[in-house]
């Protein structure tokens, strides 16, 4: 981390060279505020442009105690075919985390959704003993990843296997070959390969009215996993919030705080810890005016974080990117005015936004909890 003196001299050098001054460091960092309460704070980081951007890396080093590869551990990136593991991009992020004393989070061993399987896996011929072949492939995948990154302390083992419209389980080539037991098997394999890691089921159900079926489906899955003895420690709540449009997918519906609390109560009642794995706020339907747009984004996050951090079971908070310009939301349904979205704690100018302060305020107000050992 840069010392205050180094920051000052950088500022002076920047002015002398006619550049804008670097953003003033926000102290204490979000990671320090989180740690003081027994939480870990971090962000998703992708290779390519975000990773090559030194000013962005500086924000992450300053603010975060943890990173999670945004795409680099997904089958479609890592597995060009059934024999190869292309570890290069994930290795670069793992080295960055190690070099900066950060925890590495794992996303994800099985994004159980055909849309995010590589084509070869969707079309795979599992032969005459499909269940055995599919399990062998899954086992090889999970063992290789966990062995390569033993520093990963929490893994999204299964991601988004509930259909958000129906609440039912998704089918993939793997579940067709080995049945829906693919889910339990994934957790058992992960426990064996990463015995000290926290293992999560991760999904994007939210607190909007239109998420009711999704929430029900996730609860049914959590009950089933527990009943079947699958080693699941954590419910990963992605926390892709939307504000101004009710629900970010349908564009309608209101926040259902009571139902949301009931959902969380049921999950923690079953013994699950909680991780907020992918926080950002879609401002697609908010008015263009920047101060009021940033305020509404920050207020939505603060309300959500206050509620979630009131649960001592919540142990991790991760932003899905720390600056607006690299957010995946820039590539999704545009705002009607086509202006860039502002879903992240820092702006494209690398300056902290009200959302950064909202996260800090929520962490400051959070009760202390026992951290994961």
For binding to ligand 9MR (CB under 6 A), which residues are involved? 70-71, 74, 116, 159, 204, 238, 278, 328
Nearer CB in complex with ligand 9MR: 135/156? 156
Q: Which one-letter DSSP state was computed for residue 368?
A: P
Nearer CB in complex with ligand 9MR: 112/315? 112
As measured in angstroms, the least distance from the Cβ of 204 to ligand 9MR is: 6
Residue 167 CA to residue 170 CA, distance in Å, equals 9
As measured in angstroms, the least distance from the Cβ of 231 to ligand 9MR is: 22
Residue 28 CA to residue 24 CA, distance in Å, equals 12
Per-position b or e across 250-281, b if 16+ CB within 10 A of its CB: eeebebbeeebeebbebbeeeebbbbbbbbbb
As measured in angstroms, the least distance from the Cβ of 250 to ligand 9MR is: 16
As measured in angstroms, the least distance from the Cβ of 202 to ligand 9MR is: 7
Nearer CB in complex with ligand 9MR: 135/300? 300
Cβ-closest position to ligand 9MR = 328
Task: Please name the residue that has the structure tokens 């890592």.
Answer: 78
Residue 87 CA to residue 73 CA, distance in Å, equals 8
Nearer CB in complex with ligand 9MR: 104/366? 104
As measured in angstroms, the least distance from the Cβ of 307 to ligand 9MR is: 21
Cα 88–91–93 angle (5° rounding)?
Answer: 120
Collapsing DSSP to helix, strand or coil, 140 comes out as helix
Nearer CB in complex with ligand 9MR: 238/256? 238
Contact 43, 320 (CB under 8 A): yes
Nearer CB in complex with ligand 9MR: 159/185? 159
Nearer CB in complex with ligand 9MR: 113/220? 113
Contact 159, 208 (CB under 8 A): no
Residue 25 CA to residue 2 CA, distance in Å, equals 9
Closest of 1, 93, 46 to residue 325, by C-alpha:
46
As measured in angstroms, the least distance from the Cβ of 74 to ligand 9MR is: 6
The token duo for 330 is: 């820039």
Phi, psi of 317 (to 5 degrees): -130, 120
Host H or E run for residue 94: helix 88-99
As measured in angstroms, the least distance from the Cβ of 87 to ligand 9MR is: 18
Nearer CB in complex with ligand 9MR: 75/85? 75
Contact 133, 94 (CB under 8 A): no
The token duo for 276 is: 């907020």
As measured in angstroms, the least distance from the Cβ of 179 to ligand 9MR is: 24
Max alpha carbon distance in the chain (Å)? 71
Nearer CB in complex with ligand 9MR: 145/366? 145
As measured in angstroms, the least distance from the Cβ of 147 to ligand 9MR is: 22
Residue 284: how many other CB atoms lie within 10 Å:
19
């Amino acid at each position: 981390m840069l010392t205050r003196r180094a920051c000052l001299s950088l500022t002076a050098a920047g002015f002398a060279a006619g550049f804008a001054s670097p953003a003033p460091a926000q102290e204490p960092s979000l990671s320090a505020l989180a740690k003081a309460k027994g939480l870990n704070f971090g962000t998703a980081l992708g290779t390519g442009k975000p990773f090559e951007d030194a000013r962005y890396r500086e924000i992450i080093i300053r603010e975060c105690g943890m990173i999670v590869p945004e795409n680099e551990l997904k089958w479609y990136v890592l597995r060009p075919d059934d024999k190869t593991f292309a570890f290069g991009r994930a290795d670069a992020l793992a080295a960055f985390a190690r070099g900066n004393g950060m925890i590495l989070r794992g996303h994800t061993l099985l994004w159980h959704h055909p849309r995010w399987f590589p084509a070869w896996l969707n079309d795979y011929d599992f032969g005459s003993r499909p269940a055995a072949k599919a399990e062998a492939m899954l086992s090889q995948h999970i063992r290789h990843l966990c062995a390569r990154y033993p520093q990963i302390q929490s893994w999204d083992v299964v991601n988004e296997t509930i259909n958000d419209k129906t609440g039912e389980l998704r089918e993939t080539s793997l579940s067709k070959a080995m049945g829906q037991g693919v889910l339990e098997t994934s957790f058992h394999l992960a426990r064996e390969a990463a015995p000290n890691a926290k293992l999560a089921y991760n999904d994007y159900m939210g607190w909007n009215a239109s998420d009711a079926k999704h929430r029900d489906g996730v609860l049914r899955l959590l009950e089933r996993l527990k009943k079947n003895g699958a080693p699941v420690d954590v419910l990963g709540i992605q926390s892709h919030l939307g504000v101004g449009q009710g629900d970010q997918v349908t564009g309608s519906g209101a926040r259902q705080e009571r139902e949301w609390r009931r959902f969380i109560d049921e999950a923690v009642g079953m013994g699950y810890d909680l991780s907020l794995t992918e926080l950002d706020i879609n401002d697609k339907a908010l008015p263009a005016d920047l101060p009021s747009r940033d305020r509404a984004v920050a207020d939505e996050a603060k309300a959500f974080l206050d509620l979630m951090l009131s649960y001592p079971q919540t142990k991790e908070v991760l932003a899905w990117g720390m600056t607006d310009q690299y957010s995946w939301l820039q590539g999704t349904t545009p705002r009607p005015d086509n202006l860039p979205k502002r879903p992240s704690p820092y702006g494209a100018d690398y300056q902290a936004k009200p959302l950064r302060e909202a996260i800090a305020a929520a962490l400051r107000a959070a009760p202390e909890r026992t951290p994961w050992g």
